[in-house]
């Protein structure tokens, strides 16, 4: 006897997103932290964009890259969170095959883009600390625009094979995705053909592209720390380190959770599925929420502009 979940189809008309498998009864309660993170992320990132636009003193390379990061975070959240909340609140689990591939592309494209922006910000901090007299001449507005375009184009091209690889596999066992959104590895696992090419390309993107970004950032910060520790006084060292402290926190918030998620997806087979999905989702959505908080708290210019904004409104 055949049913809709076992009949062979090259491209299924829809996938079924299960949300958090095993915790369906608690989906409404699960929506509370997700909705909270979404609200904080949207408000925080829009606030960063507004403050940088309104404050002329923030019109510099670091804050332009910060705006790119904020936009990336907003797109990443908006491409996933509405569907997640629809699953939790209305049990709207179906997603069209093409819509699933589009969501997959956006998720991975903007994740790689965020990694590239972290590299660009590391370059900015390296030039500002190691070559301060050349910062304004090296990182001019046209150069910043070119770096931004390179980050966007690289992300778009690197992730472009994902939907094409996934589209070519036959799906003959199930169309149930044990996640609240479409990611490459989850969809590739559903294929009943040999999808090693797709999975290996996913590993290349994870460890090859973002891994190289991590190496570049590590080399940049090695040079930055050497320059900081060569300063004559402790106050000078602390003051200089504070200029890159926010960026360092953002880097750690981005790379550590994603490395953990990637390793857990591939090697932690004994972890219960609901725990696996819940942990992965929390780690995935935390950095876009934390980034504006980190910069808002640790960056004096943004903090002062925000305080002046509320002070004037109160007056």
pLDDT band at residue 21, thresholds of 50, 70 and 90?
A: confident
Q: Tell me the pTM.
A: 0.88
Cβ distance 114 to 254 under 8 Å? Answer: yes
pLDDT value of residue 3: 45
For residue 194, the SS3 value is coil
Residue 4 clears pLDDT 50, i.e. is over it: no
> Which long-range CB contacts under 8 A does 223-228 form with residues at least 24 apart?
223/126, 223/130, 224/125, 224/126, 224/129, 224/130, 227/129, 227/130, 228/129
Q: What is the pLDDT of residues 130-161, one digit of tens each?
A: 998 899 899 999 999 999 999 999 999 999 99
**Measured between alpha carbons, how far is residue 38 from residues 23, 30, 74, 78, 112 in Å?**
20, 13, 9, 9, 20
What are the residues facing 15 on neighbouring strands?
95
How does strand 176-177 pair with strand 14-17? parallel
Q: What is the pLDDT of residues 235-275, one digit of tens each?
A: 888 888 887 888 888 888 888 777 777 676 666 667 677 77
Cβ distance 121 to 62 under 8 Å? Answer: yes
Average pLDDT over the chain, rounded to whole?
Answer: 85
Give the percent of the chain with pLDDT over 70: 92
Angstrom distance (rounded) from CA 293 to CA 283 = 16
Residue 298 clears pLDDT 90, i.e. is over it: no
pLDDT band at residue 304, thresholds of 50, 70 and 90?
A: confident
């Amino acid at each position: 006897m055949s049913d809709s979940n076992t009949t062979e189809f090259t491209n299924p008309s829809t996938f079924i997103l299960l949300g958090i498998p095993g915790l369906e009864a608690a989906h409404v309660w699960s929506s509370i932290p997700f909705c909270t993170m979404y609200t904080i992320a949207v408000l925080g990132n829009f606030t960063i964009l507004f403050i940088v636009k309104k404050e002329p003193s923030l019109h510099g390379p670091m804050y332009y890259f910060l705006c790119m990061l904020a936009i990336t975070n907003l797109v990443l959240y908006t491409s996933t969170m509405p569907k997640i909340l629809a699953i939790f609140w209305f049990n709207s689990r179906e997603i069209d095959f093409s819509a699933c591939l589009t969501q997959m592309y956006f998720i991975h494209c903007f994740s790689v883009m965020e990694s590239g922006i972290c590299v660009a910000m590391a370059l900015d901090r390296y030039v500002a600390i190691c070559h301060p007299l050349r910062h304004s001449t090296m990182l001019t507005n046209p150069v910043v625009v070119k770096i931004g375009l390179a980050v966007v184009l690289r992300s778009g091209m690197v992730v472009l094979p994902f939907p094409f690889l996934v589209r070519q596999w036959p799906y003959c066992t199930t169309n149930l995705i044990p996640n609240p959104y479409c990611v490459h590895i989850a969809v590739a696992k559903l294929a009943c053909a040999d999808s090693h090419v797709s999975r290996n390309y996913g590993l290349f993107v994870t460890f090859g592209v973002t891994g190289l970004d991590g190496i570049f950032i590590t080399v940049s910060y090695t040079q930055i720390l050497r320059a900081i520790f060569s300063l004559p006084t402790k106050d000078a060292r602390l003051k200089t380190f504070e200029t890159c402290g926010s960026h360092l926190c953002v880097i750690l918030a981005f790379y550590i959770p994603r490395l953990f998620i990637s390793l857990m997806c591939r090697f932690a087979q004994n972890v219960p599925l609901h725990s696996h999905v819940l942990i992965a989702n929390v780690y995935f959505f935390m950095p876009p929420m934390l980034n504006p908080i980190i910069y808002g708290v640790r960056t004096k210019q943004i903090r002062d502009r925000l305080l002046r904004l509320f002070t004037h409104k109160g007056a």
